[in-house]
């Protein structure tokens, strides 16, 4: 009897946000009628960064709204795609020290 590929059913993903420079966690959960299927998970974070598996973390170098895509694929080739937005906040710069040049009067 041929095996029928089952598209993974509903996919629930967590698309959060955070501050630039901080690791942001992403997760995904899904259902699949093929209870013996194995699955691969592929992430595209919208800034040329990618990852596989779940859960994962990603660090954005700059603030902005990024389109995040996750694809869950079963071992029969069926897949489900979910897309959301990660909102990354700007972080104020921090002054760590101020040094006056040597030999300059009035500083």
pLDDT tens for 37-88 read 899 999 999 999 999 999 999 999 999 999 999 999 999 999 989 898 899 9
Give the separation between CA 75 and CA 6, rounded to whole angstroms: 10
Give the separation between CA 66 and CA 95, rounded to whole angstroms: 28
**Are 57 and 23 spatial neighbours (Cβ–Cβ below 8 Å)?**
yes
Mean model confidence pLDDT for the chain: 83
Task: Look up the pTM and report it.
Answer: 0.78
What percent of the chain is predicted at pLDDT more than 70?
A: 82
SS3 percent helix, strand, coil of the chain, rounded to 5, is 0, 45, 55
Residue 97 DSSP one-character state: -
């Amino acid at each position: 009897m041929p095996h029928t590929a089952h598209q993974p059913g509903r996919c629930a993903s967590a698309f959060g946000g955070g501050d630039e420079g901080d690791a942001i966690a992403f997760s995904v959960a899904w259902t699949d009628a093929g209870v013996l299927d194995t699955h691969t998970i592929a992430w595209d974070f919208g800034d040329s960064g990618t990852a596989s598996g779940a859960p994962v973390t990603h660090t954005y170098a700059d603030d902005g709204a990024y389109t995040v895509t996750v694809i869950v694929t079963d071992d029969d080739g069926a897949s489900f795609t979910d897309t959301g937005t990660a909102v990354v906040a700007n972080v104020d710069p921090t002054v760590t020290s101020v040094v006056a040049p040597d030999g300059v009067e009035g500083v």
